[in-house]
Chain A
């Protein structure tokens, strides 16, 4: 069921971008950037990638060479047996006489960054971050699968949630349901009962049991072929939700819907945030909504763009974002409702359906 990887296309397109930016090469050691361009999943320190408008080359260790198989044919591999990987890349740059080599200043550590700067490397701005915002068809297919796995797993698990179960037991059920459907990893799996629903990043407890009448909040997603899904459901467990809970749920839902409806290519991200925030503020709960309305998802759970009041980016077509307004009363309960959407030219498509 694996999706045909289009990394080769990405490298081709990235080479064109480099040329346009006037860069003779781009240097990266960030696993997320290397994965994006090569399809190879690497850990920190396992490789360094150099891309020029004409070629792309990995610098790596003997033991890692077999891992590079997915990039065969479009990224060459240099087996570095002495010195650091960065030194090998620098030597290559010198020998090839490359002058303007760019790197992302926020993607390397201080020591490496200084070494590159001393070598005359320049800031490439957010050239690759920006390219990563708009997804290729293979990325969208992987995202869709990740979203489908999460929503289907939730659908299976929700009816099994019973009074007396611990938060952790519910999290384990959900994790199992996602893994069985093909998820390769579960980067976060928040299950909260009662007062814990007011804690935006709660860790599922092994002792906290679900009581007969109380709030439940689950914020979860999974990773499929490197791509992540993200969704949140909140509801009242029991027959008698307090009137205030229903009121808050409805306000959050109205905010969620307003934001979802606003999504379209070209919309400033802060407008998408405002669409949700306006409703919650008008209802008098602005202070209880203390986070951004959403974020991009992709190879990282929190990817660009941010949908917040200070965002400066605009939404683009084929860019997946979450919509997740919430209202929280510390010590009492909270509500957050979230889905992952794919922005399209004229609107959006919900990916986490149930």
Chain B
């Protein structure tokens, strides 16, 4: 293989640059940089400039050797005044219309760029990131498998008297020993009334003999996230109401997943799940959207909610996670991460 082969993602970006009437694009967001170059910088450590001919990278000296090995298609320089250097380079290349991401660029930096003739643009790379290629779907499937297997592993270990933190530690330990580099967000483990708070912070509450459990967690694997939620009753005396809302949420989850397919409006996915919960009489207790897109970030476009105008396309990865929360009592949320394939949703959070 030619070492200097240009990655497909850069080729797609170049097409998008052209389509937007630009002759270059500046990238300062570190996740966007990871997406394009496969190299993880911390924030503010690098600036990329992609033109029809070149891919420039200005970064800290300590990365140069590594960038040369892992991203040989970039021309990398050590530079501590990266933004100004990029401006100068654009001029030197005779570029007339270089875009920058107005939603991700800082205000001070954006002003400097705008003053130097760069033009503000929508998040071109976010647009690319919404549609995952095969290798990305495969990684996310692995990330989801690790999370699902952690659930299967941990569930039988959960005993009365354990704290929420104890359970979270077991989940995270399993995910890390199976390849996760970190969690995709703070692991949520809730018992009893804590399950009724969708933003519960895992604490030292102990599990009672008869209690409900909610676990919402995920991991990062090779830079990509997974997200899964499971809820169930711990004990033998499951209250009738708990059973009822569990089944309602499960029905909403299944219908929501079934609604996911190319061409479907994300708002409709939300409607499908929401209408089932509304019809069951718990509409007021489903206080959030049905799901969100996922990739290198745990929450990214497209969103399965009422505010979104997105239409699903093949390659999107979204969660479906309806819930019902009865304050002070208990709550149920059931969530799977799914890939939008040609034929419909493929559940990724499974064995």
Chain A residues close to B by CB (< 8 Å): 41, 43, 62-64, 66-67, 105-114, 116-117, 168-169, 171-172, 175-176, 179-180, 182, 184-187, 189, 199-201, 203-204, 206, 290-291, 302, 310, 328, 330
Contacts and interface: CB of A to CB of B under 8 A. Distances in A.
Contacts of B77: none
Contacts of B198: 63
Interface in B125-183: 165, 169, 172-173, 176-177, 179, 181-183
B120 interface: yes
30 contacts: A43-B299, A62-B287, A64-B199, A105-B108, A109-B104, A109-B105, A110-B110, A110-B111, A111-B102, A113-B107, A113-B110, A171-B176, A172-B173, A172-B177, A175-B172, A176-B176, A176-B177, A179-B173, A182-B165, A184-B186, A185-B183, A185-B186, A189-B181, A189-B182, A199-B65, A201-B40, A201-B42, A204-B181, A302-B42, A330-B65
Contacts of B108: 105-106, 113
Contacts of B169: 176, 179-180
A206 B107 contact: no
A66 B197 contact: yes
Nearest to B108: A105
A62 B198 CA distance: 12
A351 B237 CA distance: 49
Which of A66, A109, A110, A204 has the most chain B CB atoms inside 10 A of its CB? A110
B106 interface: yes
Contacts of A62: 287
Nearest to B199: A67
A200 B199 contact: no
A291 B62 contact: yes
A107 B107 CA distance: 8
B63 interface: yes
A186 B182 contact: yes
A273 B326 CA distance: 56
B121 to A, nearest CB: 10
A232 to B, nearest CB: 14
Interface in B78-102: 80, 100, 102
Contacts of A41: 201
B216 to A, nearest CB: 14
B66 interface: yes
Given A63-B198, A105-B107, A201-B66, 8 more contacts: A105-B111, A110-B100, A110-B120, A113-B106, A172-B176, A176-B176, A200-B63, A203-B181
Contacts of A116: 107
B61 interface: yes
B186 to A, nearest CB: 6
Contact of A111 (B103, B173, B199, B287): B103
Given A184-B186, A203-B181, A302-B42, A110 B62 contact: no
Nearest to B63: A201
Nearest to A180: B169
A108 B66 contact: no
A186 B183 CA distance: 9
B288 interface: yes
B197 A176 contact: no
B208 interface: no
Contacts of B181: 171, 189, 203-204
A135 to B, nearest CB: 22
B173 A110 contact: no
B60 interface: yes
Nearest to A70: B201
Contacts of A175: 172-173, 176
A106 B169 CA distance: 36
Contacts of B63: 200-201
Contact of A66 (B60, B177, B199): B199
Nearest to A187: B182
Q: Report, nearest first, the 8 A-B pairs whose CB atoms are least far apart.
A: A113-B107, A110-B110, A105-B108, A172-B176, A110-B102, A110-B105, A290-B61, A176-B173
B107 to A, nearest CB: 2
Contacts of A108: 106-107
A310 B105 CA distance: 24
Contacts of A63: 198-199, 287-288
A66 B287 CA distance: 12
Given A184-B186, A185-B182, A114 B62 contact: no
A185 to B, nearest CB: 7
Given A63-B287, A63-B288, A302-B42, A206 B106 contact: no
Interface in B3-45: 40, 42
Contacts of A206: 179
B196 to A, nearest CB: 10
A86 to B, nearest CB: 13
Contacts of B287: 62-63
B106 A203 contact: no
Which of B61, B66, B176 has the most chain A CB atoms inside 10 A of its CB? B176
B186 A110 contact: no
A287 to B, nearest CB: 9
B195 to A, nearest CB: 13
Which of A64, A290, A328 has the most chain B CB atoms inside 10 A of its CB? A290
A30 B64 CA distance: 31
A204 B40 CA distance: 13
A85 to B, nearest CB: 13
Contacts of B173: 172, 175-176, 179
Contacts of B179: 168, 206
B96 to A, nearest CB: 20
A176 B168 CA distance: 11
A114 B107 contact: yes
Interface string B182-217: 110010000000000111010000000000000000
Which of B100, B105, B107 has the most chain A CB atoms inside 10 A of its CB? B107
B62 to A, nearest CB: 5
Contacts of A107: 106
Nearest to A103: B107
B157 to A, nearest CB: 15
A303 to B, nearest CB: 12
Nearest to A114: B107
